[in-house]
Amino acid sequence: MKEEAENRYLERALSEEIGGEHAPDLSERILASASRTSSAMPARGRTGKLGRRAPLPHPARSRSPFGAIVAVLLLIVAGVAVAIGVNTTRPTESRETADKGNVVAPHATPRVEPHPEPRPEVPANTPPSNEPAPEQPKPEEKPELPPAKPDEVKKPEEIPPEKQPETPKQPEGTEVKKPPVEPKPEEKPVEPRQPAVVATVKESSRKSALKIRYAEAEAWRVTETGEELREGVQLSASGHADVQFSGGALLRFNGEITLSAAIELKSEDLYVDNLDCAELQLKCGELSALMNGIALFSASRGSLGIACVQGSVSTHDGAVGAGKTASLTARGLSKPQPTNTETLARKHAMLRNLPQRVLVREEFDAASKERLDKGELADGVAFANAKEAGVSIYFANTFKVRPGDVVRFRYRISRAIEEMVLQFGVEGEGNYRLMLTPTKVGEWKEVEVALTDLVRTLDKTSKIEVGGTMKFFQLWAVAPQAVKLEVDWFEISRKAAD
């Protein structure tokens, strides 16, 4: 009981000393209560008897001056402890003080302290243990900071800027060279994808006969020979014009057509030669046909005329074979009738001079060297020098012999010869040849020969058969002495023939 009283007294004293709380002044109330007590007691009578008295108050316990002295000493000790706690960053608490509880004074000055290591909490009523407390590592000492004033905001410490290395000074009169600035690459605008090239303008019957455009809103413009035509192009020809397809097909037309996934015939006539090439689709309004051969198409209101020279033309209602003509309407295909190139040429002026489709063209350039079998190349000319001088070369692409196929070539010889032999190799059948009349010595000469005139080398009575696959070209000059034979170029073309 005595310890509890002393603790309460110590707490009250600390509250008055540090917190500024003072006990109320009860002196006036005590004096007033004492005066009321004395006046209420009855006076002693003469009889000597005492009247009825109020019960006497309990006598106040006299306090020993030793308690006051102890309280003052405790106040002094507490004040010294508080002052030391304010001036240190982290006070060291004893085990006894921790057992009694920490006393936090109100309105204490905030301090910035490092976070202590977590340790188990010890209840206030737990008796101290006999074992010594484990030693805690001492924090690094930091310089004491002056206590912050109330309502004062601490400013962050300013970090001095890093010192930049000084640029070495150039001697006077020395020019400082700046590093070259690389130009930024120019951003090129993304160009829209161009349609694929599908054909090339070959020739027209007269100047300004062929006009093209790529949209209905565009104006027609005149095109020239050699211009590339892209998918979706619209063509209009007065007279007639020839167009060479990228796949090898040849077109001649008058009127208006469009080249896209299919060939659309909008007016007048269209002649197509795609024999031995990829199949082509042709449209005329709602009507359509597929072809692989040589044929003439004529557009009229509600019908499509078909005249097939070689190969065949197929429709949804049947096919038109070689040497036949028929008319296709929405109701179907009419009965095919016989026809030939002469009859067609009388009805259609553009067929009077039939166009030639080039199958092979050899210029004897650098690309020809790998295919050259006999002879040498120089300046775009193949040549040989011997008693039997010969130039032989394989075709880059083989082709089949058809009626109307011709070969043309240009050559020259250095002396008179005995024989001039033109020869071709046919796959699986051997060689076919034709004897030619020699040209004059030292002059360039062009020669044209129909391939159907060739005969077997070992049997002059056997002519070449249509459909045979040609694989190489040869030209020989035979003389009693060495002769120089030169070949400038050769080509194989096809004319429509029955």
pLDDT of residue 76: 82
Is 487:383 a contact under the CB 8 Å cutoff?
A: yes
Which CATH number does 359-495 carry? 2.60.120.200
Give per-10-residue mean pLDDT for the chain (498 aa).
72 72 70 66 48 50 61 75 59 44 44 50 47 54 54 57 60 62 69 85 87 94 93 94 92 95 95 93 96 95 95 96 96 96 91 87 94 96 97 94 94 95 95 93 95 94 94 96 97 86
Name beta bridge partners: 465.
none
Residue-level pLDDT at 285: 93
pLDDT in tens, 428-457: 999 999 999 988 999 999 999 999 999 999
Q: How far is CA 38 from the centre of its chain?
A: 112
How much is the pLDDT for 32? 76
Separation between Cα atoms, residue 89 and residue 84, nearest integer Å: 10
pLDDT computed for residue 142 by the predictor: 54
pTM beyond cutoff 0.85: no
pLDDT tens, position by position, 232-280: 999 999 889 999 998 889 999 999 999 998 999 999 999 999 999 999 9
Q: Same CATH fold, 359-495 and 197-354?
A: yes
**Residue 137 C-beta-side C-alpha neighbours within 13 Å:** 5
Q: What φ, ψ does residue 34 adopt, rounded to 5°?
A: -65, -40
Residue 132 confidence (pLDDT): 52
Q: Which two tokens stand for residue 445?
A: 């000469």
How high is the pLDDT of residue 331? Answer: 95
Note whether 230 and 239 are within 8 A (CB): no
pLDDT of residue 28: 77
Alpha-carbon distance 373 to 367, whole Å? Answer: 13
In the numeric block, the tokens 């190799």 are attached to 425
Domain ranges for the chain, please list them: 197-354, 359-495
H-only helix segments in 41-94 = 65-87
Task: Return the structure tokens found at 285.
Answer: 């309004």
Structure tokens at 69: 């002295």
Could you please state the CATH topology (level 3) that the domain comprising 197-354 is classified under.
Jelly Rolls (2.60.120)
Strand-pairing partners, residue 436, are 420
